[in-house]
Amino acid sequence: MSALRFNELRGEQVAYAIERQERTFLPDRDHCPLCPTLPGGPPTEIPLQAFEIVVFDNRFPAFETPHGAAEVVVYTDQHDASLGTLPSERVEDLMSVWRHRYAELSAREDVEYVYIFENRGVEVGVTLHHPHGQIYGYPFIPPVPRLELSADARLGGCAQCVLMDREVLDRERMILETSAALAYVPFAARWPYEVHLSMREHRASLIDCAPDELRDLGRSLQRVVQAYDRLFDRPFPYVMAVHQAPAKRPDDGHLHIEFYPPLRTAEKLKFLAGSEQGAGTFISDVQPEDAAAALRAKVEAGGV
């Protein structure tokens, strides 16, 4: 059972889930717990011989009932796939799954913030290679979403709408535009190839999106990830963070997806070191406009 302690000096919660020390760590593909359970094979987390998308309670939860939730979202039964290589229909279906989980978890009394995310690559701490994401239902609003709510107050309205308008006017950092979504390297990106994929219209959460908007979001998401993989001609590691309205404040948010990739070149990592960790100030080696130009070319190389 995990436990929370409040770090007074930083004004934030820290979760202790010591059982997670025992979680499966980079198993070989014959012992992948996210593959289907096949006849004669070892049982996995998914006792089905084939599946499309599966969600289950994390065996090693950072949060659990009655103090939140931790779920695993497995995108496919194909071990070697990725968001970029899945059929586009599957990524569109994933948006419906996210929406379903957001709605259900948001309704729980012990969940204040539903956070959908994916860690991709050992560079960001992945312990299982099978394509999957996770969902945490926090029993509080975590610091980053809370900062975004503060930005709304500071900018006198939806911060995401304001920032997106600026990017549309500037255009220099835009990498993808569709009828429903925009993707850009933010003006003050912290990570070398950080990208924000945002709903063009104000949509507080996945629940507010029409079916065609969800399909567009899924296609756009896949195009961003494919551009990443083309950038250095290798699977591109990232943390993907879906930000939307807090569970009990359904109007206070703007659905967008932030990517934090740790690579600054094909071989070099951006580490969070002294300035980032001790002072909270990112120092980046890549100009956001240059990152956007490189990524825009890779999006265009993939076509629509």
Partner 1 sequence: MSEKPQPRADERSLEPEAEEHAGELTVERLRKDDGRALIAYWRERPER
Active site (catalytic) residues: 132
Instruction: State in angstroms the smallest separation of the CB of 54 from partner 1.
Output: 5
95 residue type, one letter: M
Written as one string, the DSSP assignment of 248-304 is T-TTS---EEEEE--BSSSS-B----IIIIII-----SS-HHHHHHHHHHHHHHT--
Q: Does 54 bind partner 1 (CB under 8 A)?
A: yes
Integer Cα distance of 118 and 242 in angstroms: 9
Q: Does 96 bind partner 1 (CB under 8 A)?
A: yes
Q: Does 189 bind partner 1 (CB under 8 A)?
A: no
Residue of the chain from 67, 76, 99, 262 that contacts partner 1 (CB under 8 A): 99
Residue 99 vs 298, nearer CB to partner 1: 99
Integer Cα distance of 38 and 52 in angstroms: 15
24 residue type, one letter: T
Which one-letter DSSP state was computed for residue 187? T
Q: Does 16 bind partner 1 (CB under 8 A)?
A: no
Residue 100 vs 234, nearer CB to partner 1: 100
**Among 13-21, 23-31, 97-105, 190-198, the segment contacting partner 1 (CB under 8 A):** 97-105
Residue 3 vs 48, nearer CB to partner 1: 48
Q: Does 216 bind partner 1 (CB under 8 A)?
A: no
Q: Does 172 bind partner 1 (CB under 8 A)?
A: no
Integer Cα distance of 295 and 277 in angstroms: 27
- Residue 44 corresponds to which tokens in the numbers above? 């996995």
Instruction: State in angstroms the smallest separation of the CB of 1 from partner 1.
Output: 15
Instruction: State in angstroms the smallest separation of the CB of 45 from partner 1.
Output: 8
Residue 62 vs 151, nearer CB to partner 1: 62
From the CB of residue 251, how many other CB atoms can be counted at a distance below 10 Å?
A: 11
Q: Which of 158, 124, 173, 134 is nearest to 254 (CA)?
A: 158
Q: Can you give the binding site for partner 1, defined by CB under 8 A? A: 37, 39, 43, 45-57, 59, 89, 93, 96-97, 99-100, 211, 214
